[in-house]
Structure 1
Amino acid sequence: MIENNNVSMLSGKRSFRKAPLAAALSLLAAGAASPVMAEVSLESDSGWKVGFSGHIPVFAVFGSYDQPTDEDSFTITTGFNPATLQTNIYAPTQNGLQVSGHFQMNADIAPGDAEANFRSRVSEIAVAGDFGKVNIGKGFGIFGVPAIGDNGSALGVGLINGPDQIAATAGRIGNGYFYANFTPRVMYTSNSLGGLQFKVGLFSPSKMDEGDYPLATDAEYTMPRIEANVVYSGSNFSLWSSGFTQDVDSRTGSFDSYTMSGIDFGGSVSLGDLTVRGNYAMTSGTGNFVYAARLDPNEEAASQWYVESTYRIDRTTLGVSYGEGEDDFIAGTGDDTDLTMLFARYAATDNLTLMAEYTTLGTGNGQGEYDVIIFGSQLTF
């Protein structure tokens, strides 16, 4: 028999019982006013437990877009993170092992979204013990993860793909950090060693869509992608670095085999109610956004960085964030962008956050520039 055990209020540092990605990552921005994360827990007489948590973000976006669209637009969307339901199942601890299963379902709400946008981003087994924790299955990556904890985009909108945006927006992807994405993997996480913690994992290689790039039809991927990071945290600061490598081979020799790679480093420090964080990332052979955004046998480089500052006043958090991205490959001449975000968060209750954001995108050639004003809210449960 399964009965309603309790509703437990949980910290963002718990390994298993945590709210979805957006809320959990936002807690990394120390000093930021974040919603209280809760998990509704049910427990059986035999010791099995199941928990449910999630968030529902909704944003109204007023935008003025320049060439090539040259139009004003209004839409209602989910922002950087879609609406999410997280389900966690915990087996009774046996032989010193804590075994659990995790499923995450996500949905976009913008006009024109398709049934395909109701999807699962997480489906994995986690095994924890004195040795640390091992995750097996589909879940979030390692490279770039600490950087995604900025308060501006983790709980906001950030980069928008024009006035016809129908799915989740892009946050600071390409203008501050490289997106880890959700990928099948086997990942190990160490226990904290005096504030030092590391992760390492083997991932299914990411592949370019053959319809998007001619070389993709001849590419093969015989080895897993390797990702790793290290994070050192103190009472009011955190420092991190991460990296990845993935080989791309040619079946017929139409291009020379090469290696996609990347490295980043950053940190966050809090002084009272003031928090400052930043990140710098460099990648080669894959572009400035996500894995296999392009296949680049010439291994041209891309880089990006951001700096963010937030200040908390009681239940209100005010913030400013600026970042740039540069990709040497795009259009054969390179591509420079910069994204500025001004934002405010107000914790109306422990679970309801009201938000306002002003975002402007600049580009090296003027294509796709825009200014947007955003009002939104998020329920976290």
Structure 2
Amino acid sequence: MIENNNVFISSNNRSFRKAPMAAALVLAAGVSSPVMAEVSFESDNGWKAGFNGHIPIFAVFGNYDEPTDEDSFTITTGFNPATLQTNIYAPTQNGLEVSGHFQMNANIAPGDANTEFRSRVSEIAVAGDFGKVNIGKGFGIYGVPAIGDNGSALGVGLIGGPDQVAATAGRIGNGYFYANFTPRVMYTSNNLGGLQFKVGLFSPSKVDGVTDAEYTMPRIEANVVYSGDNFSLWSSGFTQDVDSKTGTFDDYTMSGIDFGGSVSLGGLSVRGNYGITQGTGNGVFAARLDPNEEDASQWYVETTYQINRTTLGVSYGEGEDDFIAGDGDDTDLTMLFARYAATDHLTLMAEYTTLGTGNGQGEYDAIIFGSQLTF
């Protein structure tokens, strides 16, 4: 297959070669990201192989309130773990471009970090005049355009606490719902005059610890994005049934819909997103058993300004969950951040993040310094 003779290195990019998370972060206009150039190798018989990825490292100085009430210093990966993506491309035949994609991810943890080394992507992609089909495990559809905010795309965002050692949570639950990495069959249309859509069938997410639940149908996710020269508009949705085998709880449906957009004028960019979910909370799929299908919502607004190689930004977002009595699960996250592209591939970062909660539990503020190599 891949031979050692006549091997060359190329920085030529094709859109479907980008790592799934990185691709998600640049779906909507107004997101600035470091240059990502795949290093590729080609054999005489037309097979190609390449790799790309990123290594983010952050130093976090945090001041945490109840119930911990302590100061803490830690080194972590931020919202995105260190990532190596390997891509294999078969020769084009019968108008089909067939490729395989594998992604390995590692968090930064003291001591033995084997449990934090995992694969989030393993899939086949088939592209042609009809569009593209992805088969296997990869990034989701619902909420993907919203995750393109500049603050959490290259930053830290929500921190789990003073003992945080795995990837942080960005704006999950405080601005957007997490798409996650799940086995699926997904179709992506061609660009239709600025309009592009995705639809997919996903393995259903299971509620932890609920043995009486059964999942007979796939989760359905879809989105549509319309982009122009300096703006982008999007909407996405999902639905998944959760049934009881013996009737110990009422069958119910998890669902969600969101709307968002971005606009850029010169170096100034503004983007925002608003989402509503039912039966699953404001963070991740199947977060709990919720036969009453309580509502939750997530929204954020972000403004960035780019001056040459420096990007300055501020964003604010909230999450609200009716499942919790009162306002105990309501949160708000503020992020102030700066990015400096020292080179096309090395970005230096600073961030100030503060979390507010409805009952004071888990509040904190943190000063963060970091860097990321993107290749």
TM-score, structure 2 as length reference: 0.97
| CA 43–229 in structure 1, closer or farther in 2 if over 3 Å, else same | same
Matched, 1:6 2:5: no
Equivalents in 1 of 2:28, 2:311: separation in Å?
Answer: 11
1:294 aligns to 2:288 (yes or no): yes
Count matched residues.
372
- The 10-residue stretch of structure 1 (26-35 or 220-229) with the greater mean CA deviation from structure 2: 26-35
Q: TM-score, normalised by structure 1?
A: 0.95
Secondary structure of the 1:147 match is helix
1:361: Cα distance to partner?
0.1
Q: How many Å apart are 1:295 and its aligned residue?
A: 1.6
Residues 31 and 272 of structure 1 are in contact (CA less than 8 Å); yes or no, is this contact kept in structure 2?
A: no
Counterparts of 1:321 and 1:333, CA distance in 2: 22
Partner of 2:16: 16
Contact 1:31/1:312, CA 8 A, preserved across alignment: no
Pairing 1:81–2:84 present: no
- Counterpart mapping for 1:1-381 below 5 A: 1-2=3-4, 3-10=6-13, 14-19=14-19, 21=21, 23-28=22-27, 30-111=29-110, 114-210=113-209, 216-330=210-324, 335-381=329-375
Where do 5+ consecutive residues of structure 2 fail to align?
A: none
Describe the SS at the equivalent of 2:7: strand
What do the CA deviations read for 1:12-37 (whole angstroms, capped 9, x no partner)?
xx43222452x434434644542111
SS of match in other structure, 1:282: strand
Aligned to 1:213: none
- 2: distance between equivalents of 1:101 and 1:29? 25
Cα deviation, residue 166, structure 1:
1.3
For the residue of structure 2 that corresponds to 1:359, the secondary structure is: strand
In the alignment, residue 252 of structure 1 is paired with which amino acid?
T
Task: Return the offset for 1:5.
Answer: 1.7
Partners of 2:90 and 2:24 in 1: how far apart?
Answer: 26
Shift of 1:217: 1.7
Shift of 1:208: 1.4
User: Matches of 1:332 and 1:318 in 2, distance apart?
Assistant: 36
AA matched with 2:17? R
Specify the SS of the correspondent of 1:292.
coil
CA distance in 2, matches of 1:333, 1:324: 12
Contact 1:19–1:39 (CA<8 Å) still a contact in 2? no
Distance 1:185 1:26, change over 3 A: closer
Percent identity for Structure 1 against Structure 2: 86
Alpha-carbon separation, structure 1, partners of 2:289 and 2:237: 19
The 8 Å contact of residues 29 and 227 in structure 2, kept in 1 or not, is answered as no
Q: Distance in 2 between matches of 1:273 and 1:9?
A: 26
Instruction: Assess if the C-alpha contact under 8 Å between 1:326 and 1:334 holds in 2.
Output: no
Q: Is the Cα–Cα contact under 8 Å of residues 222 and 238 in structure 2 kept in the other structure?
A: yes
Give the 3 Å change call, closer, same or farther, for CA 295–113 of structure 1 in structure 2. Answer: farther
Q: Structure 2: how far apart are the matches of 1:242 and 1:188?
A: 14
Asked if the contact 1:28/1:150 (under 8 Å) is kept, the reply is no
Q: Is the contact made by 1:173 and 1:289 (CA closer than 8 Å) also made in structure 2?
A: yes
